[in-house]
Structure 1
Amino acid sequence: MNFKYPKNEKLKSKITIGLLFTEGKSVSKYPLRLVYKSGTFGEGEKIKMGVSVSKKNFKKAVDRNYFKRILRETYRLNKHLLIDNLDQPYSFMFFYQTKDRLTYEEINTKTIQLFEKFLLQIKKEI
């Protein structure tokens, strides 16, 4: 298993992010939300992932950056759940949607549950 979060997995394209918000579908597991859309990327790339924490919920950049770091870390450690079960490439945007300050362990278990819920949803769509 590769636990890296390399540059080619980071969602940076404004066009792709815009398409995610206009045409993407979402799945939620409180307090996390995953917006996704299938698409094509460069050779060998299966996933593009972006992370966001609302300024409305956390006014201080220090707090937003902390939760973004936690979300990236939980994604990095659990992305094998997605990569092993995806047939086509996907773009994701990962949101933390509450003012509550959950612990790393709680966010990690919610991330795993969210990924499992996402995989069930895409299997239903096929």
Structure 2
Amino acid sequence: MCSKRLIALLFSKGSSFNLYPLRFVYHTPPDMPPGQTQVLISVSKRYFKRATDRNRLKRQIREAFRLNKQVLYQNPGQSPRLLGILYIGKEKKSFDSIQKKLISGLERCLSK
């Protein structure tokens, strides 16, 4: 997601929940046509000063999402159109733990 307007809309009107070390922010604007979900992935510079650490975590989250995005598309009418995945942990986690939390978070986004 690159549009500043969509990012502002996501954070102003979206719903959120935490599944440590991830935070999910999601929103389905009524004027957006059904289609694929736009995803924003963010890692805080406050806890990870080195860009290599932030980039590695973002790559892990992106890969976990790529492998499990079919969870969102099983019910296309219920899936959010805007989704923000924020890494809020203070330490680096393994890919497996990130993937487990991401799967449960995607399922929770659909159930709300």
Tell whether the structures are fold-level matches, with TM greater than 0.5: yes
What's 1:52 paired with? 42
Residues 1-126 of structure 1 correspond to what in structure 2 (within 5 A)?
Answer: 11-39=1-29, 40-41=32-33, 45-87=35-77, 90-121=81-112
Provide the TM-score with structure 2 as the length reference.
0.90
Q: Which structure 1 residue ranges, 5 or more long, are not aligned?
A: 1-10, 122-126
Provide the TM-score with structure 1 as the length reference.
0.80
Shift of 1:86: 3.1
In structure 1, distance between residues paired with 2:68 and 2:17: 17
Q: Which structure 2 residue ranges, 5 or more long, are not aligned?
A: none
CA contact (8 A) 1:31 1:98 kept: yes
CA contact (8 A) 2:26 2:109 kept: no
CA contact (8 A) 2:42 2:58 kept: yes
Q: Deviations over 1:61-110 (max 9, x none)?
A: 11011101111111111110011123055111111101121100111111
Q: How large is the Cα RMSD of the aligned pairs? A: 1.4
In structure 1, distance between residues paired with 2:54 and 2:85: 13
Aligned-residue identity in percent: 39
In structure 1, distance between residues paired with 2:17 and 2:85: 10
Write the letter of the residue equivalent to 2:61: L
Q: How many residues align?
A: 109
Write the letter of the residue equivalent to 2:63: E
Q: Deviations over 1:29-72 (max 9, x none)?
A: 1111111110315xx63210010000111011110111011111
Write the letter of the residue equivalent to 2:66: R
Q: Structure 1: which 4+ aligned runs deviate by more than 4 Å?
A: none
